[in-house]
Structure 1
Amino acid sequence: MVEKKSEPRKRGRPRSFDTNAALDAAVGVFWREGYDGADTASLAAAMGLTKPSVYAAFGDKRSLFMHALQRYGATTGAEAIQAFVAAEDATSAIAAFFAALVTTQSGKRGGQGCLLACVAAQCAETMPEVKTLLADSLVAGQAHIADRLEQAVRTGELPDDYPVHRRARLMIDLMQASAIRARSGATADMLASLARENADMVLAR
């Protein structure tokens, strides 16, 4: 009688949790508490995991922070650019960009302000990987805006002499300033008023 060879046993157990949902929970903790204020126990509890499970899935706290920043950048942090790109005309695009910031920065989606501008920026000097992520994010955001504005110039929505790259940079700078104001306690109404002023500034000739 020939003995059947047993199947090799797989090491460990498959993950039984939603990675994105866990990261969204971590984003919320880091956003509200800051990097230093977010201890591993609080992160694990919010994520619905044990600390060993967090370490196994995401590494140490610093590594989890990077995962959370990347998740934020692909979701909430991308909403203003997505609204800008999706709008039908340049004027609507600029208004939509700043209106989206009111939603994402006023506390309706998590902490006030912006996880990148208000939390990650504080870690940039001691975490080179965070500094690189921030720089790349700013460059990418400005490039998306400039591309859309250049298209608007080509189609006649904006005048030929419209300073595309200066205004794209201005929009990114105003986004950062709005985040700081939100983190400092500005209400949604105050941010909405600021958003309208910022849109007018970017469109000024």
Structure 2
Amino acid sequence: METKKKGPSGRPRGFDADEALERAMLVFWEHGYEGASLAALTDAMGISTTSMYAAFGNKQALFRKALERYAAGPSDYLVQALEEPTALGVATGILKGTLRTTTRPTGPQGCLGVQGALAASGSGQEARDLLAAWRNDSCGRVEERFRRAVDENDLPPEADPALLARYVTTLAFGIAVQAASGVCRDELRAMTEAALRAWPPA
């Protein structure tokens, strides 16, 4: 239900947009782009379809805003990991952050950025393209950080930053898919630790 609150001008304000977006993000995270119906979204957000369109635009625009919120919230471990002083620290931060976020004891499992639109019809193509670009951007940022690690002699000169970045992000995305499939945190943690033991020495 929309709650009517008085704004500074005395006019009623329909709802808390920030809270509504948070709830929409959780619906997309749990059900994916196409699985999240307008009815499910507006019910979770506590607003009417008219209010949703007025505040956020259409479903695709809402999904884009939800992904931005996800990147700045549950998925912000990537930004933190990129600030680690070593390449191994970066890889560790990404994989452990993925593990932590995708196997939460409550709420959706997996990753919104991976499962949100893996399978989509023509109407969901924009969402699928958006997520592909989001994943590629993440990989590109990791590659750039690993290139710096080579320059700083933190990675051996023969290391391939692009390959290492793809390796780490593919592992992270794989963790997300496995978590959504019900694989337990302990098993995924063991896999993560095994992958990190194979990290190239400086």
TM-score (norm 1): 0.81
State the partner residue of 1:9. none
Give deviations 1:98-153, integer Å, cap 9, x for gaps. Answer: 11001111135731111121122222754332233123212211121111111111
State the partner residue of 2:4. none
Summarize the alignment of residues 1-205 of structure 1 with structure 2, pairs less than 5 Å apart: 15-77=13-75, 79-108=76-105, 110-123=107-120, 126-201=123-198, 203-204=199-200
Question: Which deviates the most, 79-88 or 96-105?
Answer: 79-88
**1:122 and 1:14 mapped to 2: Cα distance?**
41
CA distance 1:15–1:138, change in 2 (3 Å) = same
Question: How large is the RMSD of aligned CA atoms in angstroms?
Answer: 2.3
Aligned-pair distance for 1:25?
0.8
Q: Is the 8 A contact 2:99 2:176 kept in 1?
A: no
Give deviations 1:37-85, integer Å, cap 9, x for gaps. Answer: 33323322322323321122123334322332232233323x2321321
Q: Is the 8 A contact 1:103 1:109 kept in 2?
A: no
**2:121 and 2:200 mapped to 1: Cα distance?**
34
Count residues with an aligned counterpart.
191
**1:102 and 1:197 mapped to 2: Cα distance?**
14
- Please say which structure displays the higher CA radius of gyration: 1
Question: Which deviates the most, 57-66 or 182-191?
Answer: 57-66
TM-score (norm 2): 0.82
Q: Which runs of 5+ in 1 are unaligned?
A: 1-12
Runs of 4+ aligned residues of structure 1 deviating over 6 Å after TM superposition are: none
Aligned-pair distance for 1:93?
1.7
CA distance 1:169–1:16, change in 2 (3 Å) = same
**1:89 and 1:171 mapped to 2: Cα distance?**
14
Q: Secondary structure at the match of 1:123?
A: coil
Question: Which deviates the most, 117-126 or 159-168?
Answer: 117-126
